[in-house]
Every structure is written in C-alpha cells, then in structure tokens.
Chains A and B, each alone.
Chain A
C-alpha cells in the first residue's frame, strides 16, 4: 500500500492523476479511432474530395463512390427510431420509478432489460420472418389516397425504412429507459414531497422530477441515439439495402453502418476499401456533430439553477 499522503494537496493530486489517467485513455482511444479512420480513407479523400459528401452514386465496379444516400438513410432511420422510442422509453421509466407498486418494479425492470439482452442478429432474423411480412401487409392495406403521399409511396416490399425504424426503436428502448429510470430514481424524495406538499398532481410531481434530472434524461436519449446510429446487423436485414434517397417510409434504403458491414469483407481494391472507411469516417463526424448539438442543448437547459458541484480544493478555475 502507498504511504498515507502527508497533506491534502498531495492526496488531491494523486486522486486527480489516478482517475485522470483513465479519462485520458478514453479520450485517447477515440482520437486513435478518428486518426485511423482518416489514415485508412486518405486515398478516397484525395480522390473524391468534397464530392464524396454530395454524390448519390455508389458503383464499386466503375470506382465511383458517394456517401449521400447513406447519410440520408442513417439520419432518417435513427431520427424516426428516436421519435418512436423516446416517448415509450420515458413512459416506461416514469411508470417504473414513479407509478408502479413496489412489487411490480423488479419484474418490469427485468422485462425491459430482456429487450436489451436479445442479440441484434436475432432481431434481424425475427425482422425478416415476422416484422417484414407484417409491414408488407400494412403496406398492402394502405388506402390508395394515402399511397399517393410521398411518405407512403412505393411498392409493398416489406423491407424498407419503416421496418428499419421499428426495429431500431425496439432495440433502443431498453437503453434509454434504463438510464432514464436510474436517473429518476436518484431524484431526492424530498423534492417530490415538496411538490406534493404544494398541492401538485401526480403528473406535476413527475414533471418536476423530470426537470430536476433533465440533463440525465437527455443523456439517456443521447445514449439511445448513439445506439441507433451504430446499429448494423438488424438494420441491414430489414432495410432493403438500396442506396437511394427517398422520403417514403416504404422504400428500401441504406445506412452507413450497413454498407460498411456488408461490403467491407469483400472489398479488395484499395480505392473501394478507402471509400468504405471514409463512410465510417463520415459516420464518426456525424456522431461528433450530433454530440455538439445536444451539448449546446443541455448547456442552455442547464443555465437555470442546478446545484453545481464545487470541487473542494479547487484552485483558480484556470487550472483545468
């Protein structure tokens, strides 16, 4: 064992250095991944430049590559998944942490986590054999007048954006709801009691708890979004894998993670490989941008009163 530190300053330093080392490791890993992505896609970056982000063509034989259909597919499917899953995930979190009787709590938590335990390939296979035919029936049953709307146009294939969004939503729900639930649980009971004492209804007390834990809730949603962006297996089995940009929920489309997984193993010439890695880099950059946006969102929320943790031996703020 280390000799007991002589004064508080040393002890603070050891603590900061110790935990900081791991923090630096984490940052280092992310930087290394980013660097590797750039290095392994340099041929494609040099060859295509900015047009890579603007072209719709993906032709391995002709050597023409463009990322736009994949960017579209990834964003569309993930945002849809988030729209579908967030209310449900929050509803589950609220129900379990605020509304359910204690006896129901553990089984419900268990069941929610069961959703996360199912491997993505199982979701994919279930998607092909159960979800896609069901969606196809839904498409066939869509009335004619609705079909003419671009959102619902296209032949009833079953595979397509809707199936992908549904599967992603199902996969994301347990993540968002688990973290949201833990965060809500940590809201001090005194806060709730205060609200009730002031005459709040059930919902109003819950609203207060949501507000108290708001950064945690946004963190939960972000975790779910990250999950949706990176999901590969299940999506590629039900999305139809057609690199086209379409507003229709029924059209087969393609995501960045899916094309990377599908074509990586077979890509043999260097330009092709580098183009694929560049798609990975585009996804990486997109995750960065979404992160920045959500951080600005949290920052503007956090500007209202929120107990700020003051580090005990905080020197002047400049020593970060």
Chain B
C-alpha cells in the first residue's frame, strides 16, 4: 500500500515535469518588474514583427553596455502592441503604421511616436523561365491585385519589360492572411497610385483581397511564392534579401524604376524629412526623389509621455537616445535603412517631452 503510494506519487512527479523555478515575490508595476532604484528593472514592450530583428539586437547590445537594464520586446503584431499599450500591460509599443486619431483618443494618456528605422515592402515573384529583373508600376500592381491583369504575358506587363519572354501562366497573387503592418504599407502605396484600389479594397492592416491566396506571415508568403511557379507576392525587403527570391523593381514618383535596397529606402525618408509633422505620424510611400523607392515606411516605438513608473521612463529615454545615435549604425547590415540625420535631430528634441520625474 505504501509502496503503491510512493510509486504513484513519483510517477505523477515525473509526469508533471522535473525541476521548476521558485517564485520570488515581485510587486505590482505597469508592465514591469519591481524597479530597483536606478536600474535592475525589466521593461516589457510588444508590437510589430517587422523590426523585431533590429530591436532584439539593440536591446541585447544595450544590455551589454548597461547590465542592469533588461528590455524585453515581443513581436505580437502592430495592432496587438497598440492594444497592450492602451491597456497598460506593457510599457511601450511598436507599430508599422501610426496610430489613428480614434486610437490615440482611446488611450488613457498621451502617446508619443518615435520612428526608429525604415523598411520597405517589395514585390516578389516566381518565374523560373525569366532571368531578368521584372519592372512594375504602381497601377500595374494594383491591377494585378484587383484581378484585372490575370496572366504574366499580359500586354501591360510586356510593355514595361520589353525583350523579356513572359510565360502564359496565370498570376497567382499571394497576400497576407492575417492583418499586418506590411499589408498596410503596401495598401497605402497602392491606394495612392490607384484610385480604383482605394475604392474597391481600401487601406488598412487587414483587407478583403479580391483574388489570391493568403500566406501566414512574411515567411508564409515568401514560402508560398517560392513553392508556386507563376506567383506574385509582397514581403518586407529583409525577407526577400535573406531568402534570395526574385524581386521586382518599382516605378517611383519621378518615373524611374528603382530597385529596392537599403540605400533607396533611406533616399525615400530623406525626401520626407522636409515635411515631417511634429508628431512623426507620416506616410512616406510614393515619396519624392529620383532615387527613392516608392514602397517604404517608418516603423515607430510608442511611449506614454507621462508614465506612472518614472524610473522605467528614464531608462527608456536613455535607451532611445542610444538607439537613435549608436543604434542606427547596426541597421544596414540587418537589412534596415537608418534614419536620415534631420529626423534624428527632430526626435532627440521630441524625447524631452517624455517626463522622467
């Protein structure tokens, strides 16, 4: 009888798993651990998936420089980041699209936007017979997405790509199945160059696409495109570069065909810096400038101007200063474009609004 109990107990213990940590008590705090005076706090943030690689690099590097500072960022998605920030379950949020006025009003405090890096959305395709880089225009992309241009050898495509032997296959458009900042940026651009797209589909993170299949995440779309001959999709530049998929060039506002790259994205931001609004909520798709890539965008970190936890606010302020200066140097090697100096200067001034006492 006793032996049975022992066997049962040990079995349950094995089954439930070994070890496990103890739980040192921690006190309440908006989205963070008990702040020790002057450091040792863990700050939690959530938001867009797109900048996750560069943010993880930044937070790791910053942790090396300041061992007491632990900033934990999780890529739940732009919308989720905004929601968590509004509910105050995280200290900061991150988003690929600026918050809308209604969202700002719904928040319990004033939220500041700080652009951190730039990214681009690029058209990718899978045509094994075609070795040259295809050229696209905004209106053409819109027509493909609306289902008006159905085949690869359509005259609209052939006109732009003289000398390329285009196959007769149908175009399979691959979009994002879930809502995302990437979709928003792509739709924002298409909405600017195609009134038809704007009225039929609209501009938002989640859209009702007239045609096509949905892939989950950037990697889902690139995976599907890589597997499906004759397909066309849109992904963040980083994914196209890393997976070595065929990327198309897009015509910008000066009628030049620009190949997406870190340099052409920075050029797009430089053009926008002149007209930057003070709250940094701006769209730079179809930006002016001969070298500008037209489907580019900022990504923002979102902070309350007057958070209850002042120690964490001070830490974040210092971190942002570092990210906007030293951090920018790490961006290009990871496939992100760094901010133009004029924008950085404006942001440093705007950081003063973050109250730390």
Contact = CB atoms under 8 A, between A and B. Distances in A.
Interface string B139-180: 000000000000000000000000000000010100001111
Nearest to A243: B208
Most chain-A CB neighbours within 10 Å: which of B80, B204, B214?
B214
A62 interface: yes
A261 B217 CA distance: 12
A193 interface: no
A136 B79 CA distance: 34
Nearest to B84: A265
A266 B203 contact: no
Contact of A266 (B102, B206, B227): B206
Contacts, number: 91
A150 interface: no
Contacts of A261: 178
Interface in A235-255: 236-237, 240-242, 252
Given A241-B216, A252-B214, A267-B79, A60 B227 contact: no
Given A237-B220, A268-B79, A155 B100 contact: no
A57 B220 contact: no
Contacts of B76: 265
Interface string B64-102: 000000000000111110110000000000000000101
A265 B223 contact: no
A266 B77 contact: yes
Contacts of B227: 128-129, 132-133, 136, 158
A198 B250 CA distance: 81
Interface string A260-283: 011111111100100000000000
B213 interface: yes
A128 B224 CA distance: 8
B228 interface: yes
A124 B215 CA distance: 12
A159 interface: yes
Given A155-B172, A263-B178, A60 B208 contact: yes
Given A132-B227, A136-B227, A241-B177, A157 B208 contact: no
B216 A61 contact: no
B203 A241 contact: no
Nearest to B223: A128
B254 interface: no
B304 to A, nearest CB: 18
B177 A262 contact: yes
B271 to A, nearest CB: 28
A74 to B, nearest CB: 15
B212 interface: yes
Contacts of A159: 213, 224
A59 interface: yes
A58 B214 CA distance: 14
A240 B204 contact: no
A70 to B, nearest CB: 13
A57 B223 CA distance: 27
A267 B206 CA distance: 8
Nearest to B46: A265
Given A241-B214, A262-B179, 12 more contacts: A62-B202, A124-B216, A128-B227, A129-B227, A133-B227, A157-B228, A252-B213, A264-B80, A266-B80, A268-B79, A268-B82, A269-B102
Give the top 4 A-B pairs by smallest Cβ distance, nearest first. A266-B179, A241-B214, A262-B178, A241-B177
Interface of B: 76-80, 82-83, 100, 102-103, 170, 172, 177-180, 201-208, 212-216, 220, 223-224, 227-228
23 contacts: A58-B208, A59-B208, A60-B179, A60-B204, A61-B207, A62-B202, A62-B208, A128-B227, A158-B227, A240-B213, A241-B216, A242-B212, A261-B178, A262-B178, A262-B216, A266-B78, A266-B80, A266-B205, A266-B206, A267-B79, A268-B82, A268-B83, A268-B100
